[in-house]
Amino acid sequence: MTQPKKVLAFDFGASSGRAILASFENNRLSIEEVHRFENNPVTENGHLRWDFPYLLENVKEGVRRAGTFDSLGFDTWGVDFGLLDENGTLLERPVHYRDERTQGMVEQALQKMDADRLYAATGTQIMGINSLFQLLAIQKQEPELLEKAHTLLFMPDLFAYALCGSKNCERSIASTAQMLDLEKGCWSSAVLEAFGLPARLLKEPAASGTVIGQLDNGAKVVAVAGHDTQCAVAALPATEPDAAFLSCGTWSLLGCELDAPVLTRESRELGLSNELGANGKINYLKNIIGLWLIQESRREWKRQGRDYSYADLERLALAEPALRSFIDPDDPLFTPPGDLPGRVQEYCRKTGQPVPESVGQIMRCIYESLALKYRFALSQLEQETGRTFRTLHILGGGTKDKLLCRLTADCTGKKVVAGPIEATALGNILIQLVTLGALEDLDAGRRMLAETEELKVYETDPKADWQKAYERFVKLL
């Protein structure tokens, strides 16, 4: 019999935040959402920003509603950060990764350190949203801000600091920055020196599961895997070597666990990324725009006065003919908010494909394009690792989308295991339970989830001509 434990997980997504209270006793886990709140960016001083004061007030409300618990931990999206002055005061609201300040920064940066050297030093896919390029934008556009800054805290560490006063840098969130040496587990001096960035900003990375402070009520503050993707992977209900994972939310992160990073030129050119996982392994993965395509399309139709539920959109997609038109989900055309359905039509028109006209046709195009991009990413992973994946575990909110899961199984030819739905929060919780000694290690937690969580299996059934569709899709890329 294990000692009962209660832990509080704060899980932040791109549009909302949640406080999840978990009770663990006799190897059984129960969870309850005690608080949910919106996460809406604000525009201030010409930049799109996270409304940190509002979010922090909701964190405190979540703590109040949770009552008594043993520990808490935070996970958020990657790359974004807050800057503190020498007195520990937040200098400004953290800037959102979708802000336009980093436009052109990648090209300028690569003149100082070429892409092969930068990738070999960090293993991170080179993207304009990465923390490195955000810092370079500040260095160029607001040098006085960088002069005032004394400490950089990534978003989960910033929330923890606001509650307990401890300045910490957790390693999984640090590995999204394009500045971490994955092989040594420390900040890359080569990168900092090449770009003239002050080392004083960066705290030494700490392992996931480190206790970094406590609240007034005695609850421990645990630096879980701060990057939500790594929390989701921590809850992967499998340890078999032939399984890949797809953390499916606003972004899709498709990857596998490795013992060492892949830092080759070919890996860089394929757009693959290496991140540190909660268990110390490398999560080798591909960043793909995910449910954002569906979420933003739904928001655009709502702005036009047409309010569809997600079930409505799935039903309309199912009613349309299969495999007519495709988009590359990761084309920059689809990154900004706005008229995403119109951009789908524009892409198809420019690439000489039938233009989807109805809501159902646009949704069918998006669904099938995501499935095809997942197949493409899986083939790249298999090529670079020399492994053959037989199972794809879909984790997170995307598991509720049965059509996407079915199309992914049929398109990839892999068995798809969908679940847990609450993978990110569960990973956060498991890491805390390991830290408290209630679980032996993460593998024990994964085995527990495999036995207790409701998982849905989709066996591949390729009725449509996916191979020809895939060949057409690859030509688009």
Tokens of 189: 């001096």
The packing angle between helices 292-303 and 310-318, to 10°, is: 100
Q: Nearest-CA neighbor of 121 among 288, 261, 284, 271?
A: 261
Indicate the SS3 state at residue 423. helix
Distance separating alpha carbons of residues 372 and 329, to the nearest angstrom:
10
Handedness of CA 135, 138, 143, 147 (dihedral sign): negative
The secondary element (H helix, E strand) that includes residue 49 is: strand 47-49
Q: Calculate the alpha carbon distances from 74 to 37, 112, 386 in Å.
A: 15, 35, 35
Query: Which is catalytic among the residues 11, 228, 401, 410?
Result: 228
Using alpha carbons only, give the angle 231, 235, 241 rounded to the nearest 5 degrees.
110
CB 444 within 8 A of CB 391: no
Distance separating alpha carbons of residues 186 and 191, to the nearest angstrom:
12
Rounded to 10 degrees, what is the CA torsion of 266, 252, 315, 379? 30
Quote the strand ranges of 272-411, DSSP E: 272-276, 282-289, 391-395
DSSP-assigned letter for residue 227: B
Distance separating alpha carbons of residues 153 and 94, to the nearest angstrom:
10
Q: Is 181 a catalytic residue?
A: no
Determine how many CB atoms are found less than 10 A away from the CB of residue 161: 21
Distance separating alpha carbons of residues 381 and 211, to the nearest angstrom:
34
Q: Calculate the alpha carbon distances from 328 to 289, 461, 474 in Å.
A: 9, 24, 9
Handedness of CA 280, 375, 386, 420 (dihedral sign): positive
Using alpha carbons only, give the angle 220, 226, 227 rounded to the nearest 5 degrees.
160
Quote the strand ranges of 163-281, DSSP E: 180-181, 186-187, 210-214, 220-223, 243-248, 251-258, 272-276
The secondary element (H helix, E strand) that includes residue 223 is: strand 220-223
Residue 395: phi and psi, rounded to 5, are -120, 145
384 by Cβ neighbours in 10 Å (0-12 / 13-18 / 19+) ranks as middle
Indicate the SS3 state at residue 187. strand
Tokens of 302: 């709502």
Tokens of 282: 């490398």
By annotation, the residues acting in catalysis are 228
